[in-house]
Structure 1
Amino acid sequence: MMNRVAAIQMVSTPDVEENIATARRLVADAAVAGATLVVLPEYWPIMGMRDTDKVIHAEQPGAGPIQDFMAQAAAEHGIWLIGGTLPLVSIDAAKVMNTTLVYSPDGNSVGRYDKIHLFGFQQGAESYDEARTIVAGTEVGSFEAPFGRVGLSVCYDLRFPELFRAMGECALIVVPAAFTYVTGLAHWEVLLRARAIENQCYVLASAQGGTHASGRRTYGHSMLIDPWGKVVDVLADGEGIVGGNIDQAFLDQVRGNLPALRHRRM
């Protein structure tokens, strides 16, 4: 049995309404092409001029235009919609939770993951410190789709393989991201392929991919990778869609031929 999945790639702007309109169009296109599960990238609703811009748009869980759109889109197209990340209110008024929400085909919110690992990077004039505006999550996230367990991760989480082991055996792991161009060029594909190979599952990465209004450049290269580590589909930059099938027979074949998950001793 096969289920088609898709990752949306965007070049999000500081305008939430504009980004929702873009996401609405691309999600509809993915659904028309047969996708039953669609993933949006990290920060898809807003890539502001400043890191603090997202705090202004933080929503309460269950209420707000960003969440309303996701629930409506999932129900309208009858798909599983994984909402990349959006800003939700946190215990600190000056910070947000960088949150992935999962919507079922009936439009209900059925899963949540708050990004655990917060990105920090310094190289010359390029500097990032997500801890200044984000409160880290604490709980591993996953949900059950018709084809198996789906593990939830976000961007910088990709560098911490122990998180993916803690998800248990997944058919699919999703990685919404806004990787910088510098780190993406060096590490993005090799890390994604490693997570697919070591967990013997599909990995679907949905990225920001271009130069944003703030001048920040994100790497793009949204892709679907199979359990053998092969890149099934990829989009280098610009907005668009990548996708393919979750082939349960092939997943079982890989795990049967090379039963590494059963060989674990730690």
Structure 2
Amino acid sequence: MKLAAAAYKMDVLDSWEAYAAKLTAWVEDAAGQGADLLVFPEYGAMELATLAGPEAAGDLEASLHAVSERIPQVDALHAELAKIHGVHILAASAPVFDPEIGPRPVNRARFFGPSGAMGHQDKQIMTRFEREDWGVVGGGPLHLFDTALGKIGILICYDSEYPLLARAMMEADLILVPSCTEAAHGYNRVRIGAMARALEQQCVTVMASTVGDCDWSEAVDTNCGMGGVFGPPDTGFPADGVLAQGQMDQPGWTYATLDLDAVSRVRKDGVVLNRAHWAEQAGRDSPAILRSLS
């Protein structure tokens, strides 16, 4: 299969038609290169707030509502594009007000299959900005999607820094990591997390990033990152685990070709068997015994 990870720059949009044309061009570009799976980043949907005008886009609370109200329309467009091009698409995540969860929005990534069918994954653990300044909350449970490309899980940005979340989807062949980070420190935290999850679970992780400045938003004003695809540094994979990476802060797609059998082989007969040996950590969550050498 061919994987496509986006480094996505958000724009000021003057109409819905402008957004539809932009998304269509991105999907057509990747599909035209033979991509089977397209991964957009965390909070890439925040550009939709500009359709409500600069005042709404620049206000933390108003921008949440402006984007959430557009999501049904956005999802219909993604479903149509997935069907037209016969691809899987992880849409850019967005704040969504879901009355089944509560009065505050979740950070939700929606996943589309070639039939147009849709599933979604909510972010589990909020960053300090999300919880302290923006009021975005953790959402529904983790899901594992059974697709023609294999079993696919999603860990949104900060979630990728927590190994037990990845372990909960230990059957995943691929874990998608949509990300939105404002500085190299944040980008590298998520990248290191994505690479560690690939090592631990002996799977492939696909990281997408927002890039560029958005001076119209207090929430996503600065963005740093690039696309990347990572595997375990073991049999059948590159020595550093990097299958592909883009150029820092340069918009566009990063592509990698993957033989999914490589995941099965490394899990069965790798030089190390991290995934299989995970259970040997049982009971190790208690503090280490403190001993004095003085």
1:117 maps onto 2:125 in alignment: yes
Asked if the contact 2:4/2:38 (under 8 Å) is kept, the reply is: yes
3-state secondary structure, aligned to 2:68: coil
| Equivalent residue number for residue 31 of structure 1 | 31
Q: State the 1:14 CA deviation.
A: 5.0
Q: Normalising to structure 1: TM-score of the pair? A: 0.86
Question: After the TM superposition, which residues 93-242 of structure 1 pair with which residues of structure 2 at under 5 Å, given as runs?
Answer: 95-109=104-118, 111-120=119-128, 128-130=129-131, 132-184=134-186, 186-213=188-215, 214=217, 216-228=221-233, 230-235=241-246, 236-242=248-254
Q: For the residues of structure 2 that align with 1:135 and 1:188, how far apart are their CA atoms? A: 19
Change (3 A) 1:164 1:27: same
Asked if the contact 2:79/2:116 (under 8 Å) is kept, the reply is: yes
3-state secondary structure, aligned to 1:46: helix
1:81 maps onto 2:79 in alignment: no
Segments of 5+ residues of structure 2 without an aligned counterpart are 48-56, 234-239, 283-294
Q: State the 1:184 CA deviation.
A: 2.5
1:264 to 278, 282, 291: 278
Which has a greater percent of strand?
Answer: 1
Q: For the residues of structure 2 that align with 1:191 and 1:250, how far apart are their CA atoms? A: 21
Change (3 A) 1:95 1:225: same
Q: For the residues of structure 2 that align with 1:207 and 1:21, how far apart are their CA atoms? A: 20
Q: State the 1:238 CA deviation.
A: 2.9
Q: What letter is aligned with 1:244? A: A
Change (3 A) 1:209 1:160: same
Q: What letter is aligned with 2:36? A: T
Question: Sequence identity of aligned pairs in percent?
Answer: 24
Segments of 5+ residues of structure 1 without an aligned counterpart are 121-127
CA displacement, residues 1-43 of structure 1 (integer Å, 9 cap, x when unaligned): xx11111221213538344433221111111101111111111
Change (3 A) 1:130 1:25: farther
1:58 maps onto 2:68 in alignment: yes
Q: State the 1:187 CA deviation.
A: 2.2
Q: State the 1:217 CA deviation.
A: 1.7
1:42 maps onto 2:54 in alignment: no
Q: How many residue pairs get matched? A: 254
Q: For the residues of structure 2 that align with 1:135 and 1:187, how far apart are their CA atoms? A: 21
Asked if the contact 2:122/2:140 (under 8 Å) is kept, the reply is: yes
